[in-house]
Amino acid sequence: MKEKYYDLETIDLQAEKFLHLIKPFRKRRKWVLHGNNAALLILDMQRYFLDESSHAHIPSGRAIIPKLRKLQDEFLKRNLTVIQTRHLNTPEDAGQMGKWWKEIIVISNPLSQIVDELSSEKIPVIYKTQYDAFWNTNLEEILKGKGVQQVVIAGVMTHLCCETTARSAFIRGFEVLFTVDGTATYNKDFHLSTLLNLSHGFAIPVLVREVIDYLGREE
């Protein structure tokens, strides 16, 4: 079920292959980055998903960290909104998450921390309890309070929290850019399925370098 479809050497090539497979949907949508109206959402880049010692380890997860670090730094350099999420549960708020996965990520677990490479005091971290980062959080309030109209989604897992949050953002009126090489999950099939679903009805698939290039054009 798990496979390493992204690594540091092959991630660019594999991302281009994904884009080729969804080309009929991607070419329908022209997009630009809306500068001060854009926000970067980095979901659940926690040790729980990225450390090899964890049973929930995502083999391709660490390959996206350098790209996310660069993207995050570019947003911060331009004083654009960056928000990270950290998935945490208690027995009281887990709901179906606890029933489905049997195990919950509790705040006392050291693996619940965001990886050092992306941790920053400059970035607010929203605690979420479900796949959807908008569910029972103040994420929508924060974004709309800052005048954000467009969100760039990155992080893990592609087909669970990232996809659910992308759909939720769309429904709330945000334009969604979904990073093909800035998200990762357990295997190639899950990843591609999300790209197909979202590009058909919810989000524009983009490469991290494309987002960074747009930021550079606005200087």
Strands laid side by side in the 175-184 sheet = 125-128, 81-87, 38-43, 150-156, 175-184, 204-206
pLDDT at residue number 30: 85
2: number of Cβ within 10 Å: 12
What digits encode the pLDDT tens for the residues 102-160? 999 999 999 999 999 999 999 999 999 999 999 999 999 999 999 999 999 999 999 99
pLDDT tens by residue, 46-73 = 999 999 999 999 999 999 999 999 999 9
Distances (CA, A) of 208 to 73, 136, 140: 12, 29, 23
Task: Print the SS3 string covering the chain.
Answer: CCCCCCCCCCHHHHHHHHHHHCHHHHCCCCCCCCHHHEEEEEECCEHHHHCCCCCCCCCCHHHHHHHHHHHHHHHHHCCCEEEEEEECCCCCCCCHHHHHHCCCCCCCCHHHCECCCCCCCCCCEEEECCCCCCCCCCHHHHHHHCCCCEEEEEEECHHHHHHHHHHHHHHCCCEEEEEEEEEECCCHHHHHHHHHHHHHHCCEEECHHHHHHHHHHCC
Evaluate if residue 175 carries a pLDDT over 80: yes
Give CA–CA dist 123/153, Å, rounded.
15
Residue 103 confidence (pLDDT): 93
| Domains of the chain, CATH where assigned | 35-217 (3.40.50.850)
Instruction: Grade residue 203 by pLDDT with cuts at 50, 70 and 90.
Output: very high
- The confidence band for 218, taking pLDDT boundaries of 50, 70 and 90, is low
Kindly indicate the confidence band of residue 219, based on its pLDDT and cuts at 50, 70 and 90: low
Residue % of the chain over a pLDDT of 90: 92
Task: Give the tens place of pLDDT for each residue, 10-25.
Answer: 999 999 999 999 999 9
Q: How confident is the model over 188-197, as pLDDT tens digits?
A: 999 999 999 9
